[in-house]
Amino acid sequence: MLKFDRYKVVFQEIPNEVSLGFSITGCKNNCSGCHSPYLREDIGNELTEDILTDIIKNNKYITCILFFGGDHDKEYLKKLVNTIRSNFNLKIALYSGNDIIDNDLYNIFDYIKIGSYNKDKGPLKSKTTNQCLVDTRTGEDITYMFWDR
């Protein structure tokens, strides 16, 4: 099971996409300098397939679903991705704080942000970041698309 604290439409997290982002709680990464440490807590509402479907239906101009976390329960995350793929023509992205992603997760997303947050190296928009955003359809690291924005 995954829980979420909130969701909102976001425009800058996945280049050229209007994303519906879900802030998933229960994060296990404990990155130093995390901008949302409250997401480590077991809080929020369960993100069921029905709730996910209803929220997507009520946001008709989106082009992408973005999970801010959730890979701590990869089987349930795969179930949600399958629901999206079966019912909607949307891209799907994962922001993971992990430095390594299992192939079975990598292969089901269109975009994955990989890497724990290192405050000395900065976020994706920093040219010195240790994180990267990968377009998994091409294998290209598209982190450069955040620079000089």
Average pLDDT over residues 114-135: 92
pLDDT tens figures, 102-112 = 898 999 999 99
> Structural domain tally of the chain?
1
Taking a C-beta distance cutoff of 8 angstroms, is the pair 145, 15 a contact?
Answer: yes
Query: What whole-number distance in Å separates Cα of residue 92 and Cα of residue 16?
Result: 13
Taking a C-beta distance cutoff of 8 angstroms, is the pair 117, 131 a contact?
Answer: yes
- 92: enclosing H helix or E strand: strand 91-95
Determine the structural domain holding residue 53 and report its residue range: 3-146
Query: What whole-number distance in Å separates Cα of residue 69 and Cα of residue 121?
Result: 20
What CATH number should be reported for the domain holding residue 121? 3.20.20.70
Q: How many beta carbons lie within 10 A of that of residue 53, not counting itself?
A: 16
pLDDT tens figures, 18-72 = 999 999 999 888 777 777 888 889 999 999 999 999 999 999 999 999 999 999 9
